[in-house]
């Protein structure tokens, strides 16, 4: 008998460095982990080897950013909650936009 369960995997990409080039304090990332754990019962942070993102800005220049990836498994995708949390993170990390993405997943 199969007991498949579909959930949402939400990924947050947080910048390691501020716009001034200085690294954000570890406490800021710990706070995000604690908030996500409190809200969803757990979170995974890929923090030891930051991922490197690259994109092209409006002027055609290639920009680079080191990011820490957080993942959360949620039973349902509460878009309103995540949009509000994204705005909170954008203000906290002083970013125009922080990438959050969600994917439907099936637990095996």
Chain segment 9-64, per-residue pLDDT in tens: 999 999 999 989 899 999 999 999 999 999 999 999 987 666 556 656 777 766 66
3-state SS assignment for residue 86: helix
Q: 17, exposed or middle or buried, with CB in 10 Å at 0-12, 13-18, 19+?
A: middle
Look-up of token digits 């979170």: 43
Place of tokens 């954000």: 24
Structural domains in the chain (count): 1
Residue 3, pLDDT score: 55
Yes or no: say if 25 and 32 are a contact pair by the CB < 8 Å rule: no
pLDDT at position 1 is 45
CA-closest candidate to residue 9, choices 68, 53, 75, 69: 75
Rounded to whole angstroms, the Cα distance separating 68 from 66 reads 7
Any idea what the CATH number is for the domain that residue 75 is in? 3.30.70.120
Query: Which residues span the domain enclosing 14?
Result: 5-107
**pLDDT (tens digit per residue) in 71-90:** 999 999 999 999 999 999 99
pLDDT value at residue 50: 61
Q: How crowded is residue 89: how many other Cβ atoms within 10 Å of its Cβ?
A: 20
pLDDT computed for residue 97 by the predictor: 93
- Reduced to 3 states, what is the DSSP secondary structure of residue 105? strand
Q: Residue 6 pLDDT > 70, yes or no?
A: yes
């Amino acid at each position: 008998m199969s007991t498949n369960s579909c959930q949402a995997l939400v990924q947050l990409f947080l910048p390691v460095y501020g716009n001034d080039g200085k690294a954000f304090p570890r406490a800021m990332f710990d706070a995000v982990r604690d908030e996500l754990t409190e809200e969803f019962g757990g979170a995974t942070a890929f923090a030891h080897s930051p991922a490197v993102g690259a994109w092209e800005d409006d002027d055609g220049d290639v920009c680079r950013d080191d990011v820490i990836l957080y993942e959360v498994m949620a039973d349902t995708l509460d878009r309103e909650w995540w949009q509000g949390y994204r705005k909170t993170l954008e203000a906290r990390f002083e970013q125009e936009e922080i990438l959050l993405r969600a994917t439907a997943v099936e637990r095996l």
